[in-house]
Copies of this chain bind each other. A is one copy, B any other.
Amino acid sequence: MHNPSEQNFIQQLSIDCVIFGYHQKQLQVLVNKLNFNGNFWALPGGFVFQNEDIDKAANRILQERTGISEIYLDQFYVFGNATRNNLNFIDELIALNPHMSIDEKSNKVEYEWFTRRFISIGYYALVDIRKVVPQKTDLDESIHWINIKDLPSMIIDHNDIVLKALESLRVNVDEKRLAFNLLSETFTMKEAQELYEAIFDKPFARNNFQKKILDLDILDRLEKKFTGAANKAPFLYRLKK
């Protein structure tokens, strides 16, 4: 197990990342199954070095988990309730993993690090899922893309963090042109609409949607997509530079 207390991290401060992808017309979230006996799931996260900007820390964590460095990410909320700590989760974990070092109290400092209250800065990221090769850390048994509607129960408040990230994504999706980070570089209007329907979890009327998106004036229209049926070929679009 890592021992963060020996490194030069800011104390009681963590970063939790909600990494959104899009696949099979559904939003997906990257989550880790922890490498212990028991069914412990968590968002990718980490800590901030004393000499590190918080945005750089989030970028470092995201790059470790996705293998890609150019990621759209933004902080969206700070989770800072006084009761926010690992105690419940650690107790259950120790009960199920009687031989782990944290139980033997061989490292009291490490135990104290993990059981203190943490204030966590939530970042969300939007990635093209085809470019990501999910990377697990020593702490993970495995790492998975999971449909946002099928997420398992996660440790601490990680399920709430996902809900809040989704809420922020919905609020900012137009203003910050976020959604298109989830698609390939070029896409049809139908693909854009399906993406918006996944984000908002509701259908949009085709004509209204097209007008709304075009009114944003953020897309370039490219050549028609070749489908074999020339008269029905849809246009391709790309986000303006």
Contacts and interface: CB of A to CB of B under 8 A. Distances in A.
Interface size class of A (residues with CB under 8 A): 20 to 34
B78 A53 contact: no
Contact of A75 (B10, B48, B78): B78
A54 B10 contact: no
A66 B77 CA distance: 25
A26 interface: no
Contact of A78 (B10, B117, B121, B172): B121
Interface string A45-57: 0001011111110
A175 interface: yes
Tell me how many chains of this kind the complex includes: 2
A53 B80 contact: yes
Contacts of A81: 53-54
Nearest to A175: B171
Contact of A12 (B13, B77, B80, B175): B13
Contacts of A133: none
A54 B11 contact: no
Interface string A97-108: 000000000000
A146 interface: no
Contacts of A56: 82
Interface in A87-135: 117, 119, 121
Contacts of A80: 48, 53-55, 121
A50 to B, nearest CB: 7
A77 B172 CA distance: 14
A92 B142 CA distance: 52
A165 to B, nearest CB: 15
A81 B52 CA distance: 7
A75 B171 CA distance: 15
A17 B61 CA distance: 29
Given A11-B11, A13-B13, A172-B171, A117 B82 contact: no
6 contacts: A10-B119, A11-B12, A48-B80, A48-B119, A53-B81, A53-B82
